[in-house]
Structures are given as structure tokens and as C-alpha cells.
Amino acid sequence: MRSELLGQLSREKIVAIARGFTLEETLAAAQSLADGGIVFLEATLNTEGALRIISRLREVYGDRMRIGAGTVLDIGQAKEAIAAGAQYLISPNVDEEVIYHGVEQGLEVWPGAMTPTEIVQAYKAGASAVKLFPMGTLGIGYLKEVRAPLNHIPLIATGGVNLHNICEVFDAGAVAVGMGGKLIDPELVRSGSFDELRERARAFVNKAQGATDA
């Protein structure tokens, strides 16, 4: 049965990925993203102080955003992320222990996979959606081909998505996209250009919703 969170993801269409920013930068960026219409925000665990960032994001934006942990590589990290308040776990790889634990704790787990074998393995282990990664290298054609036999598995396309091709990615069958630097541009964050970041977020949200409504 499709979960409420996955249902919301399928409507909102975008997971913003915050990687390598300080707590203050992430909180400020989150404000702009939320104001621009972004609901799903993932803080990656290979960011210094990531657990504190996740906790603070939940405290400050918990009523407006869905906060997750990214780059969750093993069950130890999964447990720490859940304790910090993560509402879902995202990985670049398939680790069945992480999937089992997340599901057992009542969380969504969206692991990263590249091949059809990995995608099916992750889904069978309990992932409600699978992150197709790295999309920047695999390309939209690959997404279309994989979706043909595996159209029962929701896929989150991550990598290589930009304002020009995002609608094409959804047309190819992605339920959502994961977006890092193309959305949360490090130069905008570090220069304090948060109005510009908000407008960038709004542009992506409008495109994504247009793709949904088309």
C-alpha cells in the first residue's frame, strides 16, 4: 500500500539535497526553499554536523517541510539519523540492513540503485521507492528503458536534472527527482543570495507541477 509520505512525494515531485553546508547556511537555505515551494529536504550524512542539522531542520521547519537523511550507508548511520529526527532515509546504494531497519522503525527508505537487479532487490527488501542513480551518467533514455519492465516500482531520478530537462525526466516515468547543486547552488548559499535561491526553487516547483498537470 502506498504510504502517505510517498503519496506526498509523488505530488511534490522534488527532493532538495543539502550537502556540505554549515548549520546556519542550511537553515537559511531551507527558508528560501520552503518559501519557493519545496517540501522535501534531505541533509546528507557526509556533511559535518549532519545529525545536528537534521534535528534543527525538524525543529524549525518540521511543520512546513519533510526532513530526511541522505547518504545513509550503513545501519549505524541509519539509527543515528532516525534518532536525530529524520523522516525518511536516502542512500546512494542498496544496503538491505538499512532498508529493513528503516521499515521496522516505520520510516520510508529510498535507496540508490543503478541496475534492474539492484532496483528489484531494493524494492523486494521493503523500499517504497528507489533512487535511480547516477542519472547524470545513465541519462533519460536509460530511465525510460528501465521503467518499461519495472513500471510498478516508483523511481526517484537523481543526478543530471536541470530546469531544461526536468519535464522530460517526469515524462520518462520518474515519480520524483533528487536535486543537489542545480537547485541549492553553493554559490548562492555562500554569497547569501537567498532571494535568488527562493526564485530558483519556485521555478523548479512550477516546472515540476506543470509536468504533473500536463
Active-site residue, from 12, 13, 108, 131: 131
> Is 79 marked active-site?
no
User: C-alpha grid cell for residue 82?
Assistant: 532516525
> Is 42 marked active-site?
yes
Q: Give the full edge-to-edge strand order of the sheet including 112-113.
A: 108-110, 88-90, 66-70, 40-44, 14-18, 176-179, 155-158, 130-132, 112-113
Please give the single-letter amino acid code of residue 95. D
Q: Which helix (H) or strand (E) holds 88?
A: strand 88-90
Q: Is 90 helix (H, G, I), strand (E, B) or coil?
A: strand
How far is the C-alpha of 3 from the C-alpha of 10, rounded, in Å? 11
Count of C-beta atoms within a 10 Å radius of residue 104? 9
Report the DSSP pairing between strands 155-158 and 130-132: parallel
Active-site residue, from 12, 42, 108, 207: 42
DSSP 147-184: HTT-TTS-EEEESS--TTTHHHHHHTT-SEEEESTTTS
Task: Indicate which residues carry an active-site annotation.
Answer: 42, 131
